[in-house]
């Protein structure tokens, strides 16, 4: 996986920089997501790992994608085919999405709570996190009754564990020590 990320990063960065320059970030993300889905298809994946000539492979891939790829997207597919990197498209799309989120100052935050959060609680939590992280926050809320009470918040590398379950576990560890 790390090797695939290393291979995909320059392509994702180049595509992103081009998309920013052309003011077409959303369009490029749609193209890359679609192309990644095509590349991840079992039948197409067998074709990509086969011994077909690069120009023929690019032509077949572009025909499969149809009108979903513009001229620049088709050029990217041709370059990837020439370098035998079409299998890296899913990783390229993922890295592109990360670059887009960083560029737009957005972050996905996973919130796990013991009970379902009300709209007011979600709004208040979102506002607090936006202030703390200095980014737009997109909450992904889940319910886990095992937490007893409180919330577990994960945003990138940051974890805020305000659950009663973890507090009880820390208390039990302290009593046993």
| Boundaries of domain holding 116 | 105-176
Q: How many helices (H) and strands (E) does the chain have?
A: 8, 4
C-alpha 60 chain-centroid distance: 27
67 and 7 in a single domain? The answer is yes
Q: Which residue, 37, 72, 102, sits at the end of a domain? A: 102
35 and 75 in a single domain? The answer is yes
Q: Which residue, 62, 85, 102, sits at the end of a domain? A: 102
Instruction: Please count the CA atoms within 13 angstroms of the CA of 14 that sit on its side-chain side.
Output: 11
The total of structural domains in the chain comes to 2
pLDDT of residue 2: 57
Distance, CA of 15 to CA of 53 (rounded, Å): 24
30 and 60 in a single domain? The answer is yes
For 58-85, give the DSSP string.
HHHHHHHHGGGS-HHHHHHHHHHHHTT-
pLDDT of residue 83: 81
83 and 133 in a single domain? The answer is no
- By residue count, the chain amounts to 177
96 and 140 in a single domain? The answer is no
CB count, 10 Å around CB of 8?
22
**Spatial CB neighbours of 37, under 8 Å, sequence gap ≥ 6:** none
**Spatial CB neighbours of 166, under 8 Å, sequence gap ≥ 6:** 152
Distance, CA of 141 to CA of 25 (rounded, Å): 27
6 and 92 in a single domain? The answer is yes
Q: Tens of pLDDT along the chain (177 residues)?
A: 457 778 788 888 888 888 888 888 888 888 888 888 888 877 777 777 767 777 777 787 777 777 887 888 888 888 888 888 878 888 888 888 888 887 878 788 888 888 888 889 888 988 888 888 887 888 888 888 877 788 888 887 788 887 778 888 888 888 887
152 and 87 in a single domain? The answer is no
Residue pair 19/28 in contact (Cβ under 8 Å)? The answer is yes
96 and 109 in a single domain? The answer is no
Give the domain CATH number at 160: 3.40.30
58 and 115 in a single domain? The answer is no
């Amino acid at each position: 996986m790390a090797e695939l990320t290393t291979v995909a990063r320059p392509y994702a960065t180049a595509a992103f920089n081009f998309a920013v320059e052309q003011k077409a970030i959303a369009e490029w993300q749609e193209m890359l997501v679609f192309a990644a889905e095509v590349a991840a298809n079992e039948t197409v994946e067998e074709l990509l790992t086969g011994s077909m000539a690069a120009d023929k492979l690019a032509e077949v891939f572009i025909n499969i994608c149809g009108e979903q790829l513009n001229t620049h997207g088709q050029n990217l597919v041709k370059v990837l085919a020439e370098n035998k990197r079409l299998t890296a498209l899913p990783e390229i799309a993922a890295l592109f999405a990360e670059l887009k989120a960083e560029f737009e100052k957005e972050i996905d935050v996973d919130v796990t709570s013991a009970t379902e959060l009300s709209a007011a609680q979600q709004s208040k939590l979102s506002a607090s996190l936006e202030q703390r992280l200095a980014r737009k926050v997109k909450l992904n809320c889940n319910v886990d009754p095992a937490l007893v009470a409180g919330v577990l918040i994960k945003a990138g590398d940051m974890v805020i564990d305000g659950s009663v379950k973890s507090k009880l576990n820390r208390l039990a560890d302290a009593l046993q020590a």
